[in-house]
């Protein structure tokens, strides 16, 4: 039982530390703006990839045909 108690207490302490770090991170303006900018860039990249997926797959297939001298259908 002692081992389980130690594991539980350790997990609770780590959770509290993580919660405190998250709260302090969200209170800082610089951290939030960096997160927003990163998410915005990620959304733009995902949108571009999904928009041009057909052309990207054609390009990749052509590249593989050139490299391996085969025809991929």
Listed by start position, the domains of the chain span: 2-68
Average pLDDT across each block of 10 residues of the chain; the chain has 73 residues. List them in order: 84 91 76 81 93 87 86 62
Q: Which pLDDT does position 47 carry in this prediction?
A: 92
Reported as type and span, the H/E element at residue 41 is: helix 29-51
Q: What letter would DSSP give residue 24? A: H
The pLDDT of residue 3 is 84
What gap in Å lies between CA 72 and CA 58, rounded to an integer?
A: 10
């Amino acid at each position: 039982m002692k081992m389980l108690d130690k594991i539980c207490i350790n997990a609770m302490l780590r959770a509290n530390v993580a919660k405190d770090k998250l709260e302090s991170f969200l209170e800082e303006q610089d951290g939030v703006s960096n997160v927003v900018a990163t998410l915005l860039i990620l959304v733009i990249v995902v949108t571009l990839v999904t928009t041009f997926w057909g052309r990207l797959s054609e390009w990749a297939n052509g590249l593989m045909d050139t490299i391996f001298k085969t025809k991929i259908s």
